[in-house]
Amino acid sequence: MMESLRNFLTGPRLFIVIAACALPFVFLGTSSLGTTFENNLGSVNGEKITEADFQIASNIANQKFKNIYGDDFNFNELDENMQLDAIKQEVISQKVLLSQSKSLGLLNAETKKQAKMAIIRNPAFQIDGVFDEDIYGAQVNAAGHTKDSYIDLMTDMLSTETFTGAITSIGFITEKEIEDLAYLLEQSANIEFIKVDFNKLENQIVNTDDEIKSFYENNNPMFFSDEERSFNYFILSSEDYRSLVNVPDGYIEQSYQEYLNESKNRTQIRFAHIMIEKENHASNKDALDLIQDIKEKIDGGDDFSELAKIYSDDIVNKDLGGDLEYFDAEVFPVEFSMAIDGLNENETSEIVELEDTYHILKITELNEENILSLDEMKDSIMNDLIDSESFALMNDAYDIVDDMIFANNSFESIANALNKDISISSGNTVNNSNFEIQDYRINEYLFSSEAEIGTTISIDIDDLIVVISLSDVQPPFLLDIEDVIEDVNNALSSKKADEKLMLLIGELEIARNDNSLESFIEAYDFISTDSFVDVKRFSSLLPQDVLSEVFEMSSGNSKILNSRNGDVYLIDLVDFNKPSKDIISDLLKEYESFANEKNSKNLTSVINSDLFDSARVNFNNLVF
């Protein structure tokens, strides 16, 4: 349970909660269609568990496993009981925290308003950076929600986010505790050590021919070749079909005329609005009187932007002077298009009435497109046609390939049907591809269990279609000793060096105990002694893995430490040095945030006791 909460508090936040860029949106009203997710699967602390909650928890659990084991991890391959337990943990996390946020009054009208703003900023619900209500409705309906129920769901998530954010930001760290932490992490060490250099030791080892031959014979599996696979292939490219594209008579002239006709639509119109919501007033007449009064102020010379900040009910952009960015006929109501038609820059529209709102619009920018001549457009029109048609012809060929593969046609017959020459790629290994196109999907297939000789597949790679058929598999075989003599010698030297190193460590300990250490070290040029003063935790004087263990030691102690590069250190930790008060004073600000973060993690133990241990959990026969 604790791990579930820890992941929830420290993991990545839902984008809907932390979206930062406000985008223009006109609230035109929403309709409720009745939610799809209504089955009651139980409750936690009185909060009903729905299928939607279960699905969200499933997605979170799935993503957490991917974060640990990689994107290729398949959550569905886990034992069903394990899947269910992981999902239940997430459901409990969501509902416990939601119930607490509700009890603290964090689920309110302001939270709902912020959730709406976050939805508007979500790129998934936008066209060209502008919120589209139809896309929003289609997306959430496809996920089993209505527009209203999705807003409610996001409001719950936002209130929970506010609650967890408040918890993790609570700071009970005193200045003394921050100082203690700074002193601990800023301390340095004085050390004396003996180093055995593995590479120097290994380089001094000389192997006889008989030793090399014996090692080779006794370790044959180390010296097998890689499995090699060959395959037949041909490539479909849109470039191959460009010459087959015919430009119809009159096409360029017709396309240019369409370009001229649409040039008006490509004029960029940036505009702003002042919105008055009818429901915010005692009657529609009061709302109309207000918008008419605002219109009179604008006509009288009052600043449109300042009036928007004072009167507009569009909470998203009123502080921006009502800015709606650039007009798009597919995004905004047709009434807006009619109202701004023919307006020049800095001109305002008449009052626009929609079902629930009144608006006054103002053109703030008018950027008309520079119209190109036919000669300037001719090559572009023709190339666009050839690009699109050649790509379409390639995809037609792709469809033929897939149909023939499905019908179990041979690779040769598929190539013949498309008049493609067959090429061969040989000598490919799992770690070394000789193929002209370097793409992981090709090798991934070739060396998978699905690849069988004679089987054909097609792989879509960017603007190319690669059609391949495995033709030959050369299994690994024992390489002649003459071909791998260097590898055999290196492997034997490494083995001897490891064995010698183990003996040397024991001999060093004995030499240190009988006071013969100096003469012992002088006998080997790969053993050295040194001492460092004032070594910091992240110094480059020693390997980082060795330093990490040094700072876990106690003053006056000795320890044998193995570095990842093979070297061995016999460390004597003389003592630690505390930083001066002046140094700590300069670093306190940096350590304050670090200390608070550390403290917030400690608070999770309190949350575990007060919230999760006392949670009232009731699952109604929740099974797959």
pLDDT of residue 612: 61
Q: pLDDT category, 415, cuts 50, 70, 90?
A: very high
Of 175-179, 217-221, 362-366, give the lowest mean pLDDT range. 175-179
449 within some domain: yes
Question: What is the residue type of 187?
Answer: Q
pLDDT of residue 304: 94
Is 23 in the same domain as 61? yes
241 within some domain: yes
Q: CA angle, 17 as apex, 75 and 327 as ends, to 5°?
A: 115
Q: Does residue 385 contact residue 251 with C-beta atoms inside 8 Å? A: yes
Torsion sign across C-alpha atoms 510, 513, 514, 516: positive
- CATH number of the domain within which 39 lies: 1.10.4030
Q: Does residue 325 contact residue 120 with C-beta atoms inside 8 Å? A: no
* Among the listed residues 140, 57, 153, 146, the one whose alpha carbon sits nearest the alpha carbon of residue 111: 153
Is 386 in the same domain as 241? yes
Total domains present in the chain: 4
More confident residue, 304 or 89: 304
**Which residue(s) pair with 361 in the sheet?**
273
Place of tokens 């012809």: 393
The number of helices, as runs of H, and strands, as runs of E, in the chain is 21, 17
Q: Which long-range contacts (CB under 8 A, 24 or more apart) does 536-542 make?
A: 536/188, 537/185, 542/569
457 within some domain: yes
516 within some domain: yes
**DSSP 8-state code for residue 343:** P
pLDDT of residue 20: 25
pLDDT of residue 141: 75
Of 173-182, 406-415, 445-454, give the lowest mean pLDDT range. 173-182
pLDDT of residue 5: 30
pLDDT of residue 22: 24
429 within some domain: yes
More confident residue, 500 or 616: 500
Within 10 angstroms of residue 93's Cβ, the number of other Cβ atoms is 25
> Where does residue 589 rank: exposed (0-12), middle (13-18), buried (19+ CB within 10 A)?
exposed
Is 19 in the same domain as 164? yes
**From edge to edge, which strands make up the β-sheet containing 558-562?**
527-535, 188-196, 568-577, 558-562
Is 23 in the same domain as 124? yes
Pairing between β-strand 323-326 and β-strand 126-127 as defined by DSSP bridges: unpaired
pLDDT of residue 51: 75
| Residues 399, 419: Cα–Cα separation, whole Å | 15
586 within some domain: no
Is 40 in the same domain as 27? yes
Interhelix angle 147-169/80-103, rounded to 10 degrees, is 80
pLDDT of residue 329: 74
Is 345 in the same domain as 405? no
Boundary residue ending a domain (427, 454, 474): 474
Q: Hey, is 227 helix, strand or coil?
A: coil
% of the chain beyond a pLDDT of 90: 40
- Domain containing 562: what range? 188-224+484-577
Q: Does residue 424 contact residue 231 with C-beta atoms inside 8 Å? A: yes
Residue 517 has pLDDT above 70, yes or no: yes
Is 470 in the same domain as 497? no
Complete DSSP assignment for 487-534 = HHHHHHHHHHHHHHHHHHHHHHHHHHHTT-HHHHHHT-TTEEEEEEEE
| Mean predicted confidence (pLDDT) in 528-543 | 90
More confident residue, 20 or 98: 98
Is 163 in the same domain as 151? yes
| Residues 586, 339: Cα–Cα separation, whole Å | 61
Place of tokens 């058929």: 469
pLDDT of residue 218: 95
Is 295 in the same domain as 220? no
Buried-exposed string 380-418: b where 16+ CB fall within 10 A, e elsewhere: ebeeebbeebbbebbeebbeebeebbeeeeebeebbeeb
Is 217 in the same domain as 232? no
Q: pLDDT category, 290, cuts 50, 70, 90?
A: very high
598 within some domain: no
Is 158 in the same domain as 28? yes
Is 193 in the same domain as 61? no
Q: Does residue 459 contact residue 465 with C-beta atoms inside 8 Å? A: yes
Q: pLDDT category, 4, cuts 50, 70, 90?
A: very low
pLDDT of residue 416: 95
Within 10 angstroms of residue 340's Cβ, the number of other Cβ atoms is 20
Contacts of 54 (CB under 8 A, 6+ apart): 41, 87, 91, 622
The mean of the pLDDT values for the chain is: 81
Structure tokens at 433: 């591809």
**Which residue(s) pair with 483 in the sheet?**
none
Please tell me the pTM assigned to this model.
0.46
- CATH number of the domain within which 283 lies: 3.10.50.40
Largest Cα span, the chain: 106
521 within some domain: yes
pLDDT of residue 135: 81
Q: Hey, is 189 helix, strand or coil?
A: strand
Q: Does residue 8 contact residue 93 with C-beta atoms inside 8 Å? A: yes
